[in-house]
Structure 1
């Protein structure tokens, strides 16, 4: 049973999303909700994020919405280093601060500012060891930053009882077709 689920995926620029009003965000959020609701009903207690912009931000927003129906659901933001938002624009920093402020738990793993890529590797390993599964928005035909987490998770799952769940381009297309059919 999944009680602690890591969610990750593409950063918004990797999806060509540069505005909070982009229609793709609603599709991603609805698809996340569709995957999360049955897991919550089966005992999911925690969603774990690293706080990066894009899928993780939208997942946090969706968890906040889901908490109205499922108040027992919690989320944590475990960042790889301090100040990961420092170079983001003001609007993104505000959204990040809101997500951190509403989190049930927040910590930075290295308790230091960015030093090197090893901090991302250590973050992935820590989150894999401390969750029961990963829900990754990823399409094998469109590589991007999530490929590193996917590879690490696949290696980890070979040695442990770790559940890998994916939201693919086909899943997003299906949600979009349903949404268009509702009009």
Structure 2
């Protein structure tokens, strides 16, 4: 018996292997939470929606509107002087992703000196559980209160997010508040 015949792989095994190689990634992309999230991120990128990457653990009130614009040059901000509970000026930007989470838009709030006071990110409802686990991995275990709001304290602020969202919630969102704004 020659070496070629001894190590020959049956054609049925080859067919199963080829099917697994082709269908495995398709299954992962379509039927797993991580695959769907990554597929959405690619489609949002291809549609021209900007992606925002901010480390909330080091973000602080020392950041200004100008610095935020320079750090995120692809983001098109629309700003107005409108007093709110979070500041005297706010800027809104449509985004596709925030820290690898498919999102809708980002709102930044500034005081009169144009220092960052708060940041609100409205994300896509399907990724609530993923975002909770993302913050838990990166910021540690959250502190929950009786109102169903989770809180992660950072060195320069606090991140707030509902522990659960319902279909009645108009916009699932995460809010970062600068230290002193709590």
Q: Tell me the TM-score normalized by structure 2.
A: 0.27
The structure whose residues are more often strand, as a share, is 2
The structure whose residues are more often helix, as a share, is 1
Which structure's relative contact order is higher, taking Cα pairs within 8 Å and 6+ residues apart?
1
